[in-house]
Structures are given as structure tokens and as C-alpha cells.
Amino acid sequence: MNKMKVLSLICFFIGIVFFALGFLKGNVEGGIIVIFPFITGTGIYALLGFIFFILAFFLFIYSFKTDIKVFDEMEYEKIQDKKTSIKGGGVVLIGPIPIVFGSNWKIAILLMIVAIIIIFLSFYFLNTF
């Protein structure tokens, strides 16, 4: 783990400490709307908590930029010479309507069969309860 990720983690925990202090003082409140948690607050503890959370977020994103390895041309040519074949696909169910995609037709047909089975099972279990 590089230094930026550690610094980001430290800032995150400092933000949690400030939010906890704000909760104890009554300056910070939290809740959930549908499935999204939220935190609101007034006072110095809420301000410092938000500042450290935002700082932790930006340090964490920046840490990935420092992890990127720069390839020279010779390493790039070695990578380009390797022939790899990746096959895959997926199913997206929007209600009872399946959207099937795949890298070749065999995978797409297999996923269509899986989607049909999932649809029938969902109708079966919805009608039994």
C-alpha cells in the first residue's frame, strides 16, 4: 500500500472521529432516505468531518494516479505480440425483459437459456408466495 492510500485512510478515520464528536455534542445528525445514508450538521465538528472526508476521497483517487506504471516501447511491443482471447457475456433483466450480450454466439445462446430459466423461476416463486 502506498503512502497516499495510507494518508487517505488516516484522513477518513479522522473524519469519522469528528463526526462522532459532532454526534455526541448534538451538532451532527444522520439518517437514511430509501437506501441512501446522509449526514447533516452544523458546527466545527461537522465542518472538519466533511473536510477530512473530502480530503480522504481526493487522496485516494490521487493514489491510483501514482500507481500507474509507464511502459517503454519495448515492453509495449512485447505486450502487443501476445495473443489473448477473452470470451464473456452477460444478462440484464429489466423486469421480465432480458437483455443478453456476449462475445460470441455460443455464449449468447447459453445466456439466453439462463435468462429464460431465471424468468420462469421468478414467476414461479412470485406466484407461490
The boundaries of the domain holding residue 104 are 89-128
Whether the pTM exceeds 0.85: the reply is: no
- 55 lies in some domain: yes
Closest to 12 measured CA to CA, from 64, 65, 60: 60
- Binned at pLDDT 50, 70 and 90, residue 76 comes out as low
Better pLDDT: 6 or 84:
6
Classify 40 as helix, strand or coil: strand
- Which residues touch 62 (CB under 8 Å, ≥6 apart)? 4
State mean pLDDT over 12-26. Answer: 90
Q: Same structural domain for residues 62 and 100?
A: no
| Range in 42-46, 74-78, 98-102 the model is least confident about | 74-78
Return d(Cα 8, Cα 3) in angstroms, integer: 8
Residue 115 placed within a domain? yes
Q: Is the pLDDT of residue 29 over 90?
A: no
Same domain, 14 and 43: yes
Grid cell at residue 110: 447459453
- Say how many Å lie between the first and final Cα of the chain, rounded: 49
The pLDDT score that the predictor gives to residue 13 is 93
